[in-house]
Structure 1
Amino acid sequence: MAKYNDKELAETSKFLSFVLRHKPEAIGIVLDREGWADIDKLILCAQKAGKRLTRALLDIVVATSDKKRFSYSSDGTCIRAVQGHLTSQVAIGFIEKTPPQFLYHGTASRFLDEIKNKG
Protein backbone atom coordinates (compact mmCIF):
# COMPACT_ATOMS: atom_id res chain seq x y z
CA MET A 1 0.00 0.00 0.00
CA ALA A 2 1.26 3.45 -0.88
CA LYS A 3 2.21 5.84 1.90
CA TYR A 4 0.77 9.32 1.94
CA ASN A 5 1.84 12.15 4.20
CA ASP A 6 -0.55 14.37 6.15
CA LYS A 7 -0.11 17.27 3.73
CA GLU A 8 -1.03 15.07 0.75
CA LEU A 9 -4.12 13.75 2.56
CA ALA A 10 -5.24 17.26 3.56
CA GLU A 11 -4.73 18.60 0.02
CA THR A 12 -6.69 15.69 -1.44
CA SER A 13 -9.52 16.25 1.04
CA LYS A 14 -9.66 19.95 0.10
CA PHE A 15 -9.63 19.07 -3.59
CA LEU A 16 -12.48 16.58 -3.12
CA SER A 17 -14.48 19.14 -1.16
CA PHE A 18 -13.98 21.65 -3.95
CA VAL A 19 -15.10 19.37 -6.78
CA LEU A 20 -17.77 17.39 -4.91
CA ARG A 21 -19.35 20.33 -3.06
CA HIS A 22 -18.69 23.45 -5.10
CA LYS A 23 -17.36 23.13 -8.65
CA PRO A 24 -17.53 19.66 -10.22
CA GLU A 25 -17.30 21.33 -13.63
CA ALA A 26 -13.79 22.54 -12.76
CA ILE A 27 -12.50 19.09 -13.74
CA GLY A 28 -15.35 18.09 -16.05
CA ILE A 29 -17.41 15.79 -13.86
CA VAL A 30 -21.17 15.83 -13.37
CA LEU A 31 -22.84 14.93 -10.09
CA ASP A 32 -26.23 13.28 -9.98
CA ARG A 33 -29.10 14.89 -8.00
CA GLU A 34 -27.95 13.12 -4.82
CA GLY A 35 -24.38 14.40 -5.23
CA TRP A 36 -22.80 11.14 -6.39
CA ALA A 37 -19.84 11.10 -8.77
CA ASP A 38 -18.56 8.02 -10.56
CA ILE A 39 -15.20 7.20 -8.94
CA ASP A 40 -13.45 6.07 -12.13
CA LYS A 41 -14.54 9.26 -13.92
CA LEU A 42 -13.49 11.39 -10.93
CA ILE A 43 -10.02 9.83 -10.86
CA LEU A 44 -9.58 10.15 -14.63
CA CYS A 45 -10.71 13.78 -14.73
CA ALA A 46 -8.61 14.68 -11.68
CA GLN A 47 -5.53 13.14 -13.29
CA LYS A 48 -6.20 15.00 -16.54
CA ALA A 49 -6.36 18.19 -14.45
CA GLY A 50 -2.92 17.39 -13.01
CA LYS A 51 -4.02 15.99 -9.65
CA ARG A 52 -2.44 12.82 -8.31
CA LEU A 53 -5.55 10.84 -7.41
CA THR A 54 -5.88 7.08 -7.09
CA ARG A 55 -8.47 4.76 -5.59
CA ALA A 56 -6.02 3.91 -2.80
CA LEU A 57 -5.65 7.60 -1.93
CA LEU A 58 -9.44 8.08 -2.03
CA ASP A 59 -9.90 5.10 0.29
CA ILE A 60 -7.53 6.60 2.86
CA VAL A 61 -9.07 10.08 2.68
CA VAL A 62 -12.61 8.72 3.04
CA ALA A 63 -11.64 6.41 5.91
CA THR A 64 -9.59 8.95 7.86
CA SER A 65 -11.66 12.11 7.41
CA ASP A 66 -12.17 13.33 10.98
CA LYS A 67 -15.50 14.91 10.06
CA LYS A 68 -16.61 12.07 7.75
CA ARG A 69 -16.90 14.50 4.84
CA PHE A 70 -17.21 11.85 2.11
CA SER A 71 -19.00 8.56 1.62
CA TYR A 72 -19.01 5.74 -0.90
CA SER A 73 -22.14 4.32 -2.49
CA SER A 74 -23.19 0.87 -1.28
CA ASP A 75 -21.72 -0.74 -4.41
CA GLY A 76 -18.45 1.21 -4.05
CA THR A 77 -18.59 2.78 -7.51
CA CYS A 78 -19.50 6.34 -6.52
CA ILE A 79 -18.41 8.96 -3.99
CA ARG A 80 -20.08 12.09 -2.66
CA ALA A 81 -19.57 14.86 -0.17
CA VAL A 82 -21.90 14.22 2.74
CA GLN A 83 -22.94 17.86 3.21
CA GLY A 84 -22.28 21.46 2.25
CA HIS A 85 -23.13 21.40 -1.45
CA LEU A 86 -23.17 24.81 -3.08
CA THR A 87 -23.65 23.56 -6.62
CA SER A 88 -27.14 23.59 -8.10
CA GLN A 89 -26.52 20.08 -9.48
CA VAL A 90 -27.25 18.58 -6.05
CA ALA A 91 -30.48 18.38 -4.08
CA ILE A 92 -30.03 15.51 -1.63
CA GLY A 93 -33.39 14.20 -0.51
CA PHE A 94 -32.86 13.64 3.18
CA ILE A 95 -35.71 12.05 5.10
CA GLU A 96 -37.27 14.48 7.55
CA LYS A 97 -37.40 13.21 11.11
CA THR A 98 -39.04 14.52 14.26
CA PRO A 99 -36.34 15.42 16.76
CA PRO A 100 -36.36 13.94 20.25
CA GLN A 101 -37.65 16.01 23.17
CA PHE A 102 -34.11 16.93 24.21
CA LEU A 103 -31.23 17.70 21.87
CA TYR A 104 -27.69 18.40 23.00
CA HIS A 105 -25.27 20.76 21.35
CA GLY A 106 -21.64 21.16 22.28
CA THR A 107 -20.22 24.67 22.16
CA ALA A 108 -17.56 26.79 23.79
CA SER A 109 -18.86 28.51 26.93
CA ARG A 110 -17.81 31.92 25.59
CA PHE A 111 -20.58 31.63 22.94
CA LEU A 112 -23.34 30.58 25.35
CA ASP A 113 -24.83 34.03 26.04
CA GLU A 114 -25.07 34.85 22.34
CA ILE A 115 -26.71 31.51 21.59
CA LYS A 116 -29.25 32.04 24.40
CA ASN A 117 -30.04 35.54 23.12
CA LYS A 118 -30.02 34.98 19.36
CA GLY A 119 -30.47 31.25 18.97
Structure 2
Amino acid sequence: MTDHLVNTSKFLSLILRHAPEKIGLALDPQGWADIGQLLALAAQHGRSLSREQLDDVVMRDSKTRYAISADGLRIRANQGHSLSAVDIGLLPSTPPAMLFHGTASRFVDAIRDGGLLAGSRNHVHLSSNRETAVAVGARHGKPVVLTVDAAAMLAQGHVFYVSDNGVWLTQAVPVAFIGFP
Protein backbone atom coordinates (compact mmCIF):
# COMPACT_ATOMS: atom_id res chain seq x y z
CA MET A 1 0.00 0.00 0.00
CA THR A 2 1.06 3.58 -0.56
CA ASP A 3 1.87 5.86 2.36
CA HIS A 4 -1.53 7.52 2.02
CA LEU A 5 -3.31 4.16 2.17
CA VAL A 6 -1.24 3.04 5.17
CA ASN A 7 -1.99 6.30 6.99
CA THR A 8 -5.67 6.01 6.17
CA SER A 9 -5.72 2.40 7.40
CA LYS A 10 -4.08 3.45 10.68
CA PHE A 11 -6.66 6.22 11.07
CA LEU A 12 -9.50 3.77 10.46
CA SER A 13 -7.97 1.34 12.94
CA LEU A 14 -7.87 4.03 15.61
CA ILE A 15 -11.41 5.21 14.96
CA LEU A 16 -13.12 1.84 14.36
CA ARG A 17 -11.25 -0.23 16.98
CA HIS A 18 -10.29 2.08 19.79
CA ALA A 19 -11.44 5.69 19.85
CA PRO A 20 -14.43 6.68 17.70
CA GLU A 21 -15.03 9.55 20.10
CA LYS A 22 -11.89 11.28 18.75
CA ILE A 23 -14.01 12.45 15.82
CA GLY A 24 -17.43 12.15 17.47
CA LEU A 25 -18.36 8.94 15.67
CA ALA A 26 -20.87 6.52 17.16
CA LEU A 27 -20.50 2.78 16.63
CA ASP A 28 -23.47 0.48 17.03
CA PRO A 29 -23.18 -2.46 19.48
CA GLN A 30 -21.70 -4.67 16.71
CA GLY A 31 -19.05 -2.07 15.86
CA TRP A 32 -20.65 -0.76 12.67
CA ALA A 33 -20.36 2.92 11.74
CA ASP A 34 -22.30 4.82 9.10
CA ILE A 35 -19.87 5.51 6.24
CA GLY A 36 -21.38 8.90 5.37
CA GLN A 37 -21.03 9.99 8.99
CA LEU A 38 -17.48 8.64 9.21
CA LEU A 39 -16.41 10.57 6.09
CA ALA A 40 -18.11 13.80 7.22
CA LEU A 41 -16.69 13.66 10.75
CA ALA A 42 -13.22 12.75 9.49
CA ALA A 43 -13.30 15.83 7.20
CA GLN A 44 -14.42 18.03 10.11
CA HIS A 45 -11.36 16.82 12.02
CA GLY A 46 -8.87 17.53 9.22
CA ARG A 47 -8.83 14.06 7.63
CA SER A 48 -10.21 14.42 4.11
CA LEU A 49 -11.25 10.99 2.87
CA SER A 50 -13.41 10.12 -0.12
CA ARG A 51 -15.63 7.07 -0.43
CA GLU A 52 -13.35 5.82 -3.21
CA GLN A 53 -10.29 6.10 -0.94
CA LEU A 54 -12.13 4.31 1.85
CA ASP A 55 -13.16 1.50 -0.50
CA ASP A 56 -9.58 1.27 -1.78
CA VAL A 57 -8.19 0.86 1.75
CA VAL A 58 -10.75 -1.81 2.59
CA MET A 59 -10.13 -3.68 -0.65
CA ARG A 60 -6.32 -3.49 -0.60
CA ASP A 61 -5.73 -4.18 3.09
CA SER A 62 -3.75 -7.43 3.08
CA LYS A 63 -5.02 -8.36 6.55
CA THR A 64 -8.67 -7.68 5.70
CA ARG A 65 -8.99 -5.53 8.82
CA TYR A 66 -12.27 -3.91 7.75
CA ALA A 67 -15.65 -4.97 6.42
CA ILE A 68 -18.30 -3.03 4.58
CA SER A 69 -21.90 -4.08 5.17
CA ALA A 70 -23.85 -5.87 2.45
CA ASP A 71 -25.83 -2.69 1.73
CA GLY A 72 -22.61 -0.69 1.38
CA LEU A 73 -23.64 1.88 3.97
CA ARG A 74 -21.64 0.82 7.05
CA ILE A 75 -18.08 -0.16 7.94
CA ARG A 76 -16.47 -1.89 10.90
CA ALA A 77 -13.19 -3.41 12.01
CA ASN A 78 -13.19 -7.21 11.83
CA GLN A 79 -11.43 -7.59 15.20
CA GLY A 80 -8.91 -5.89 17.48
CA HIS A 81 -11.32 -3.71 19.40
CA SER A 82 -10.42 -2.28 22.78
CA LEU A 83 -13.97 -0.97 23.19
CA SER A 84 -15.79 -3.18 25.69
CA ALA A 85 -19.17 -2.02 24.35
CA VAL A 86 -18.50 -3.62 20.94
CA ASP A 87 -19.54 -7.21 20.35
CA ILE A 88 -19.05 -8.10 16.70
CA GLY A 89 -21.27 -11.15 17.14
CA LEU A 90 -18.78 -13.93 16.57
CA LEU A 91 -19.96 -17.40 17.46
CA PRO A 92 -17.76 -19.87 19.33
CA SER A 93 -15.73 -21.95 16.88
CA THR A 94 -13.53 -25.01 17.04
CA PRO A 95 -9.96 -23.96 16.31
CA PRO A 96 -7.22 -26.02 14.70
CA ALA A 97 -5.38 -28.15 17.29
CA MET A 98 -2.41 -25.77 17.19
CA LEU A 99 -2.44 -22.01 16.84
CA PHE A 100 0.40 -19.48 16.76
CA HIS A 101 1.10 -16.15 18.38
CA GLY A 102 3.70 -13.74 17.07
CA THR A 103 5.37 -11.42 19.52
CA ALA A 104 8.64 -9.58 19.97
CA SER A 105 11.45 -11.24 21.90
CA ARG A 106 11.34 -8.53 24.57
CA PHE A 107 7.86 -9.71 25.65
CA VAL A 108 8.66 -13.41 26.06
CA ASP A 109 9.65 -13.23 29.75
CA ALA A 110 6.39 -11.48 30.66
CA ILE A 111 4.43 -14.09 28.70
CA ARG A 112 6.30 -16.88 30.53
CA ASP A 113 5.18 -15.29 33.80
CA GLY A 114 1.57 -14.48 33.00
CA GLY A 115 0.52 -16.12 29.75
CA LEU A 116 -1.00 -14.29 26.80
CA LEU A 117 -3.36 -11.57 27.93
CA ALA A 118 -5.66 -9.38 25.85
CA GLY A 119 -4.19 -6.24 27.38
CA SER A 120 -6.12 -3.25 26.10
CA ARG A 121 -7.95 -5.36 23.51
CA ASN A 122 -10.96 -7.57 24.02
CA HIS A 123 -9.17 -10.75 22.90
CA VAL A 124 -5.78 -12.37 22.37
CA HIS A 125 -5.07 -12.67 18.64
CA LEU A 126 -3.81 -15.98 17.26
CA SER A 127 -3.11 -17.24 13.76
CA SER A 128 -3.52 -20.61 12.14
CA ASN A 129 -0.11 -20.44 10.49
CA ARG A 130 3.43 -19.70 11.57
CA GLU A 131 4.12 -17.25 8.70
CA THR A 132 1.43 -14.84 9.84
CA ALA A 133 2.72 -15.05 13.43
CA VAL A 134 6.25 -14.19 12.25
CA ALA A 135 4.94 -11.14 10.38
CA VAL A 136 2.98 -9.97 13.43
CA GLY A 137 5.95 -10.43 15.74
CA ALA A 138 8.25 -8.58 13.35
CA ARG A 139 6.09 -5.45 13.61
CA HIS A 140 7.15 -5.10 17.24
CA GLY A 141 10.83 -6.10 17.15
CA LYS A 142 12.74 -9.35 16.78
CA PRO A 143 9.94 -11.88 16.12
CA VAL A 144 9.31 -14.91 18.29
CA VAL A 145 6.59 -17.42 17.46
CA LEU A 146 4.79 -19.14 20.31
CA THR A 147 2.64 -22.20 19.81
CA VAL A 148 -0.73 -22.52 21.52
CA ASP A 149 -2.26 -25.91 22.29
CA ALA A 150 -5.75 -24.86 21.26
CA ALA A 151 -7.08 -28.44 21.39
CA ALA A 152 -6.15 -28.75 25.07
CA MET A 153 -7.56 -25.30 25.83
CA LEU A 154 -10.82 -26.17 24.11
CA ALA A 155 -11.00 -29.46 26.03
CA GLN A 156 -10.72 -27.48 29.27
CA GLY A 157 -13.55 -25.14 28.33
CA HIS A 158 -11.76 -22.15 26.82
CA VAL A 159 -13.80 -20.48 24.09
CA PHE A 160 -12.42 -19.50 20.68
CA TYR A 161 -13.83 -17.30 17.93
CA VAL A 162 -12.63 -16.72 14.39
CA SER A 163 -13.03 -13.26 12.86
CA ASP A 164 -14.15 -12.67 9.30
CA ASN A 165 -10.51 -12.29 8.25
CA GLY A 166 -9.36 -15.55 9.82
CA VAL A 167 -7.82 -14.27 13.05
CA TRP A 168 -8.46 -16.61 15.99
CA LEU A 169 -9.55 -14.90 19.19
CA THR A 170 -9.76 -16.00 22.82
CA GLN A 171 -9.90 -14.21 26.18
CA ALA A 172 -6.44 -15.30 27.39
CA VAL A 173 -3.95 -18.14 26.98
CA PRO A 174 -2.60 -19.54 30.26
CA VAL A 175 1.11 -20.38 30.33
CA ALA A 176 0.39 -24.12 30.53
CA PHE A 177 -0.91 -24.06 26.94
CA ILE A 178 1.98 -22.08 25.43
CA GLY A 179 4.99 -23.63 23.70
CA PHE A 180 8.09 -21.46 23.82
CA PRO A 181 10.99 -21.80 21.35
Partner of 1:72: 68
Could you say which residue in structure 1 is the equivalent of 2:39? 43
**Contact residue 62 and residue 70 of structure 1 kept, 8 A:** yes
Q: Which amino acid aligns with 1:74?
A: A
What is the 5 A alignment of 1:39-118?
39-99=35-95, 104-107=128-131, 111=144, 115=147, 118=178
The TM-score normalised by the length of structure 1 is 0.83
- RMSD over equivalenced CA pairs, Å: 2.4
Q: Is the 8 A contact 1:22 1:86 kept in 2?
A: yes
The amino acid across from 2:86 in the alignment is V
Distance of 1:12 and 1:105 partners within structure 2:
27
- The one-letter code of the counterpart of 2:9 is S
> CA separation in 2, counterparts of 1:59 and 1:49?
20
Task: Look up the equivalent residue of 2:54 and give its one-letter code.
Answer: L
Deviation digits for residues 77-104 of structure 1, max 9, x if unmatched? 0000111001133112201123356775
Distance 1:101 1:53 in 2: 42
Q: Which has the higher strand share?
A: 2
With normalisation by structure 2, the TM-score equals 0.56
Q: By how many angstroms is 1:72 displaced? A: 0.2
Q: Which runs of 5+ in 1 are unaligned?
A: none
Q: Conserved in 1, the CA contact under 8 Å of 2:98 and 2:147?
A: no
Consecutive unaligned residues in structure 2, runs of 5 or more:
100-127, 135-142, 149-175
Instruction: Choose 41-50 or 95-104, whichever is displaced more.
Output: 95-104
RCO higher in structure (CA 8 A, sep ≥6): 1
SS in 2 for 1:35: coil
Distance in 2 (CA, whole Å) between partners of 1:6 and 1:111 is 28
1:13 aligns with 2:13: no
CA drift of 1:47 comes to 0.2
Amino acid at match of 1:47: A
